[in-house]
């Protein structure tokens, strides 16, 4: 009697463990993705270039800095020291001002990040792309089929093959589109038999990289038929 009970409890334990482990596998990576809010990184990097914070500093500094310089050029060389002293005094003031502005900028960035997050959540339930790249634009929320046809038309625009050459050819290439839109050729599934044709196909793919960023790493088979 004891043996089946033990077996039953062992099975239940195995079942529960399996459920627990798979739950961890399925849930944890998605959760991790949500925790990485990579847009924060991007915006902080861009922030010093953006005008709001330094924009306020500039009009105050501009009239102060050039005036003593112009005066000092006209006056005797000893008096050149005084504007420097003045500027050191003023630099303390400007440091305080900078801190205030930095705090303002930080608040502004936080607002932006919150706004961006809410937009991202609205656009798609998935985690935002991890590595935003310079050349490509993000197409969050675009249906997969639409994205694939966009990829097709973008690669076609870069594809050139002379009309005077044999047109009865076909090449099939499997590509992988990374999250930053970079294309890598995974496999030349079918070569056409024409060196120039195969070259034109590889060239079209290479010239199309980076593509607009996909929602997830995307693999596509592309049939090139003139």
Judged by the rule CB under 8 A, the positions of this chain that interact with another protein are 4, 7-8, 11-12, 15, 18-19, 22, 26, 144, 148-149, 151-152, 155-157, 159-165, 172, 174, 194-196, 199-200, 202-204, 206-207, 219-226
Identify whether the C-beta of residue 190 lies closer than 8 Å to the C-beta of residue 172: yes
Cα(10)–Cα(210) distance, integer angstroms: 53
Cβ 225 to another protein, closest distance in Å? 5
Tokens of 64: 């102060």
Closer Cβ to another protein, 118 or 157, answer by number: 157
For another protein, which is the closer residue by CB, 7 or 28?
A: 7
Give CA–CA dist 140/209, Å, rounded: 18
CA 136 to chain centre: 8
CA 7 – CA 4 distance, rounded (Å)? 5
Nearer to another protein, 54 or 212 (CB): 212
- What single-letter DSSP state applies at residue 75? S
* SS3 call for 10: helix
Residue number with CB closer to another protein (1 or 58): 1
Nearer to another protein, 112 or 185 (CB): 185
Smallest distance, Å, CB 203 to another protein?
Answer: 7
- Provide, rounded to whole angstroms, the least separation between the CB of residue 200 and another protein: 7
Could you tell me the smallest distance in angstroms from the CB atom of residue 207 to another protein?
A: 7
| Min CB(108)–another protein separation in Å | 37
**Residue appearing with tokens 């991007």:** 42
Phi, psi of 172 (to 5 degrees): -125, 125
Q: Are 210 and 135 in contact (CB under 8 A)?
A: yes
In angstroms, give the least distance from the CB of 69 to another protein.
41
Write out the H or E segment, with its range, that includes residue 162: none
Closest to another protein by CB, 86 vs 216, is 216
Cis? peptide before 188, omega within 30° of 0? no
């Amino acid at each position: 009697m004891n043996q089946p009970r033990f077996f039953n409890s062992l099975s239940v334990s195995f079942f529960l463990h399996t459920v627990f482990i798979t739950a961890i596998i399925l849930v944890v990576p998605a959760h991790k993705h949500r925790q990485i809010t990579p847009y924060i990184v991007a915006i902080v990097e861009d922030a010093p270039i953006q005008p709001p914070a330094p924009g306020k500093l500039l009009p105050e500094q501009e009239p102060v800095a050039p005036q003593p310089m112009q005066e000092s050029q006209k006056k005797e060389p000893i008096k050149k020291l005084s504007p420097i002293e003045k500027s050191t005094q003023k630099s303390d003031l400007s440091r305080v001002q900078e801190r205030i502005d930095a705090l303002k900028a930080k608040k502004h960035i936080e607002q932006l990040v919150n706004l961006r997050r809410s937009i991202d959540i609205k656009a798609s339930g998935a985690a935002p792309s991890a590595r935003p790249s310079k050349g490509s634009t993000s197409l969050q929320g675009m249906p997969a089929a639409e994205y694939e046809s966009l990829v097709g038309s973008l690669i076609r625009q870069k594809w050139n093959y002379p009309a005077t050459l044999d047109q009865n050819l076909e090449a099939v290439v499997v590509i992988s589109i990374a999250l930053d839109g970079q294309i890598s050729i995974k496999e030349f599934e079918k070569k056409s038999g024409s060196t120039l044709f195969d070259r034109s196909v590889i060239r079209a793919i290479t010239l199309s990289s980076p593509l607009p960023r996909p929602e997830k790493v995307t693999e596509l088979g592309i049939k090139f038929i003139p």
